[in-house]
Chain A
Amino acid sequence: MELVIKKKTKRRWLFMVMATVLAVAAYAFLILKHDPALVNLGERLWPASLEHPLGTDHLGRDVLTRLLLGAQLTVGYGLLSLFAAVIIGVPFGVIAGFKGGLIDRIFMRIADAFLAFPDTIVAIVLSGLLGPGIENLLLAIVLVKWVNYARLVRSTVITERGKDYVTAAKINGLRSFAIMRKHLFPHLIGNVLVLASLDLGKIILLISSLSYIGLGAQPPAPEWGAMLNDARPYFQSHMMLMIYPGLAIVFVVLLSNILGDYLRDAFDVKKEVES
């Protein structure tokens, strides 16, 4: 009983924090009074004050404003590219796994080609080739990430399709598409969501690190990685400028990991019934 309450509180906390972050990201423009891109050299590198709760950066821009809008950019871009990767990867995986044979082999050799290189390298090369800019970075991330979903889904489908219940569904008179949709797809949602929420953290890290080296978001966009880069020359005198965006990244990545763990437990039907 005690455990149940604990679990419920944990869940409530998790969702509250998650909702707050998303709300801040979505509605930041309502509570802000500063222009995130307005350069004011007279106010550069100010310490924290009532007007600027987290101070100003090297161009006199309000750090809090940029941090909050950065949540919108970073988390938003992360979710966007994740969504695209899932939308592409899942159907690929289901079809490859269920049909097998030649289709499977072709799909998976394509996937292997992407998997042969580390994510970061491929993303750097692609966005380097396509030119710096957030759109190209997102494209690169989608190209790198969909493979994971295709692989995950394919392996699940392959283990499941050999089981008798798939044969039983076939005997019941269901067509391949209906079997995939009704009997295999629900298996995948859980796995995909867990991987996706864990991946969100990785993608945010990737976006931030590539923005940090100048391949992603371009100035004056208040992306967290770009903010880290902006603050680098002032690290010794004004280290808080680097710590704020750094903490923001850590927080969101951590949150996405906790969410992933939570979802993994939540999608376990057996656990739900036992407790």
Chain B
Amino acid sequence: MSILSVRQLHIMGKQNHIVKNLSFDVHEGEWFALVGQSGSGKSMTAMAIGQLLAPNLQAKGEIWYGERNLLALSPSEIRKIRGKRLAYIFQDYQGSFTPFLTIGQHFDEYQKTHLSLSKKARRQQAVKALISVGLKEDIYSRYPFQLSGGQLQRVSISMALLLEPDILIADEPTTALDSVSSFKVLELLSRLQKETGCAVLFITHDLRHVKKYADRIAVMKDGAIMEIGDKDQVLNHPKHAYTNELIQSSPSLRRMPFKLEGVSG
């Protein structure tokens, strides 16, 4: 049962064609990984899903969420879905938070927009969410710059999952973290996904992040999908030469003596 269907998506800039004829499905409750080098159009695709593209970029095609085509929704209709049913986590953990607002104020604003809770209930809910991602209560009154990258990404996750969305779009959430923090964040994400049953659209350039958690993988290159399939199939029996190159260039996934031939870009 697919929860999000992207059909013939094109994203056009003024001069360049960034995403070309992209189609894929994200199934309910699965971990879907979109893998590709930087510049392959992964993030643009993620932004297009929530109508978040910069005004100079244009998305054509269809993105179905249930009965609705997200690309055709009016600003007020998409506002009801974004944040509530469709949540995001970004790579730049420091930039994801307004620098002069505390973590609590971030929660508050989010809750006020989508829920009608008393001040006390809002705080309780937020603190509960913080504790569920392994943070302490005092984080609530801290400013973003007082927290480490790993902590901030945990806060992002707790906030994104607060309203139990159907889809969580994670745009390279671990790329800017060190390997231990990123491992912890991935473990956390995977645990919470199982608990809440939301689908994760996980965007990354690193196959290592995908190896353990993803159910299905799509490999993207130059704005088009090269290969799509179950994790084992893609990783162990890549059909496309580019997928093979990606696997070869990932040190811990290397199976054969190191042989790097013409990895472009």
Contacts and interface: CB of A to CB of B under 8 A. Distances in A.
Given A164-B95, A167-B90, A187-B99, 12 more contacts: A164-B96, A169-B98, A171-B86, A173-B79, A173-B114, A182-B98, A182-B109, A183-B98, A183-B101, A187-B100, A270-B145, A273-B146
A171 B87 contact: yes
B80 interface: yes
B86 to A, nearest CB: 8
6 contacts: A164-B95, A165-B97, A172-B109, A173-B80, A173-B83, A173-B113
B265 to A, nearest CB: 24
B55 interface: yes
Interface in A172-190: 172-175, 182-183, 186-187
Interface of A: 100-101, 163-165, 167-175, 182-183, 186-187, 269-270, 273
B52 interface: yes
Interface in B89-145: 90, 92, 95-101, 109-110, 113-114, 143, 145
B156 to A, nearest CB: 8
A191 to B, nearest CB: 12
Nearest to A272: B143
A171 B55 contact: no
Contact of B92 (A101, A163, A171, A173): A163
B150 interface: no
Contacts of A186: 100
Given A186-B100, A269-B143, A167 B82 contact: no
Contacts of A187: 99-100
B96 A165 contact: yes
Interface residues of B, number: 27
Contacts of A163: 92, 95
A269 B101 CA distance: 10
A269 B52 contact: no
A177 B114 CA distance: 18
Contacts of B109: 169, 172, 174, 182
A101 to B, nearest CB: 7
A169 to B, nearest CB: 7
B190 to A, nearest CB: 22
Given A164-B95, A168-B88, A169-B98, A101 B83 contact: no
Nearest to A165: B98
A55 to B, nearest CB: 52
Contacts, number: 59
Given A173-B82, A173-B83, A173-B84, A168 B100 contact: no
Nearest to A179: B98
A182 B99 CA distance: 12
Interface string B63-84: 0000000000000000110111
B36 interface: no
Interface string B175-189: 000000000000000
A173 B85 CA distance: 11
A167 B52 CA distance: 7
B50 interface: yes
Contacts of B110: 172
B162 to A, nearest CB: 11
A187 B55 CA distance: 23
Nearest to A101: B55
Nearest to B111: A172
B98 A174 contact: no
Residue picked from A173, A187, A273, most chain B C-beta under 10 Å: A173
Contact of A100 (B55, B86, B87, B90): B55
Contact of A171 (B88, B97, B101): B88
A168 B79 contact: no
A270 B87 CA distance: 29
B111 to A, nearest CB: 10
A168 B96 contact: yes
A246 B171 CA distance: 61
B184 to A, nearest CB: 21
A101 B96 CA distance: 25
A233 B55 CA distance: 64
B113 A174 contact: yes
B98 A170 contact: no
A165 B52 contact: no
B100 A171 contact: no
Contacts of B86: 171
Contacts of B100: 186-187, 269
B206 to A, nearest CB: 20
Contact of A269 (B83, B84, B97, B99): B99
Contact of B113 (A100, A164, A167, A172): A172
B50 A171 contact: yes
Given A164-B96, A165-B95, A165-B97, A171 B143 contact: no
A245 B265 CA distance: 69
A68 to B, nearest CB: 40
B83 A172 contact: yes
